[in-house]
Structures are given as structure tokens and as C-alpha cells.
Amino acid sequence: MTDPTIGVLAVQGDVREHVAALRQVGAQTRPVRRAAELDGLDGIVLPGGESTTMSKLLDVFELYEPLRGALADGLPAYGSCAGMIMLASQILDTRADARHLDALDVTVRRNAFGRQVESFEADLDFVGITDRPGEPPVRGVFIRAPWVEEAGPRVEVLARVPDGATPGGAADGRIVAVRQGRVVATSFHPEVTGDLRVHGYFVDLVREVNSSP
């Protein structure tokens, strides 16, 4: 498969940036607001935004159950920031009525790094990208970001906060990128940096899944 079709959940958040990044790494894209728009997708991206608003809008657009079902049936997915929260199986520090999609066996702490003014950037080692010869670190942009508080046994940790990236080292070693089978999530925003490697990593995963017998 050379040109997979990747949907971008388009109910709220930074949709345009993900669409641009996916197209630059060789994917066709489709905005997804209705259940019928899930048909024929090779993968889907859940963008950053506001996770509680996103969960409400999934119900408004009658998309929650169809999307949850598609993920359970094996649709490859990538979530950034709020997308990571939506893909999690448990969310800490959120509203009681917030919903999630149970696609990753992780517990995620919402807004773990603090408020908007405490946003930061850090260079990250990323398994599957920076462990290739000659690859520089991935620049992580964290904006009111979550982190993974706990990861299940089937979850591969792809990146952690390096020591000294935040004041006092409170976030040292926190998990900020994971993969479980066909599902990838990052708490940071690669779509805003111009570095296409995380999107390329996901599109390569989609190609691999869809070329399997």
C-alpha cells in the first residue's frame, strides 16, 4: 500500500495541522465527523484539542460508538495530546461525565504538566525513530499536556520526559508516547513543529497493517 487513507477526527482541535502533516508523508486524508466517514479508512488520527469537549461532540455527532467499535475491530489510530486522553482506558483529573475510547491500556492524567503558561518543549528519544542511525531527537511541544500515569503490560513505552526538562524535575521520566499494537499516542504535538517523523511512523504502521495477509 502506497497511499493509505487516514481519517482525521474533525469535531474539534488542530485538524488542519494533522491533515497537512499526513499529506506530506504520503497519505490521503479525510475529515471524520459522521459514522459513515469511517468507512474505508486505513487509519485515523485523533488531534489535540479539549478532551471533554471532544467527548461531548462525539455524542452530538453520533460518532462515539461507531468510532469505539472501529478501534476495537483493529482500525489503526494515532492520538496527540487530547487524542491520547480519548484513546485511554482510564483518565485522571477529568469530569465525571467525560468518555473515552478504551483503545490503549493506559491510565492518563489530564493536564498533568499544568496550565497553559506552563507549556514547554523538550528533545525526546523516541523508540522506532531516534534509535535509527543518525536520527536527531524528536522535539516535543507540550501544551496543557497529559502524561501516562500507568501503562499495561502490552503497552510499549516510546518516549519519556528527559531529566531536567521541567522546573524541579517533577516530570522527569514521565511517559509521553506509547504504542499498543495498532494504536500510537503522544502527549505532545508533532504537528506544530514541522518534524514529520511521528506522522511518518504512524503511516508506516498503517501500511504495514494493511499489507499483512
Note the pLDDT of residue 112.
84
Question: String of b and e for 24-41 (b: at least 16 CB within 10 Å)?
Answer: ebebebbebbebebbeeb
* Residue 121 host element (H or E): strand 120-124
What residue has cell string 514529520?
Answer: 196
Cell 452530538 sits on residue: 60
User: Which grid coordinates belong to 104?
Assistant: 490503549
Query: Phi and psi for 6 in degrees, rounded to 5?
Result: -110, 125
pTM: 0.94
Domain boundaries along the sequence of the chain: 5-211
Provide the 8-state DSSP code for 183. Answer: E
Q: How far apart are CA 188 and CA 175, in angstroms?
A: 11
> pLDDT 10s per residue in the chain (213 long)?
579 999 999 998 889 999 999 999 999 999 999 999 999 999 999 998 888 888 899 999 999 999 999 999 999 999 999 999 999 999 998 887 778 999 999 999 998 887 654 678 999 999 999 998 999 999 999 988 999 999 999 999 999 999 988 877 778 999 999 999 999 999 999 999 999 999 999 999 999 998 876
Query: Could you list the active site residues?
Result: 81, 189, 191
- The domain made up of 5-211 has a fold known as Rossmann fold (3.40.50)
